Amino acid sequence: MAETPDFPLEVDVHWLSEKLDRKDDIFLLDVREGWERDISVIRDSFAVPMSEVPERIDELPKDKPIVVICRVGGRSAQVTNWLRAQGFENAINLSGGMNAWASEIDTKMSTY
């Protein structure tokens, strides 16, 4: 899938923070496991573990950016690529994942 100005393949945590601060209409898809979300979470994110994404694809919007989140950006990159292959050109990987969010945006957030 091609990158477009509205839906880049990947964004950093500062881009996401700015969008959330402006209350832009963004869907946050957290593909980490439940135990990981127990440690840290970005407010209003929607939890679907990576292994469940294919069976729950109908729960995802096609009309707004889907920012895919994991711990460091690896799983989320895989899910982003898979979603784009399924026609979700609005899927965007969060570079650095929750670790980058905790070190650059919410420094009080727990990491693991």
- Is the full-model pTM beyond 0.75? yes
Query: What whole-number distance in Å separates Cα of residue 98 and Cα of residue 89?
Result: 23
pLDDT at residue 24 greater than cutoff 90: yes
Per-residue confidence band for 14, with pLDDT thresholds at 50, 70 and 90? very high
31-69 pLDDT tens trace: 999 999 999 999 999 999 999 999 999 999 999 999 999
CATH superfamily of domain region 10-104: Rhodanese-like domain (3.40.250.10)
Beta strands in the chain (DSSP E): 10-11, 27-30, 46-47, 66-69, 91-94
Catalytic residue among 31, 42, 69, 70: 70
Give the count of alpha carbons within 13 A of 77, CB side only.
10
70 tagged catalytic: yes
82-111 pLDDT tens trace: 999 999 999 999 999 999 999 999 999 999
- The domain locations on the chain are 10-104
Six token digits for residue 112: 């693991």
The pLDDT value recorded for residue 4 is 60
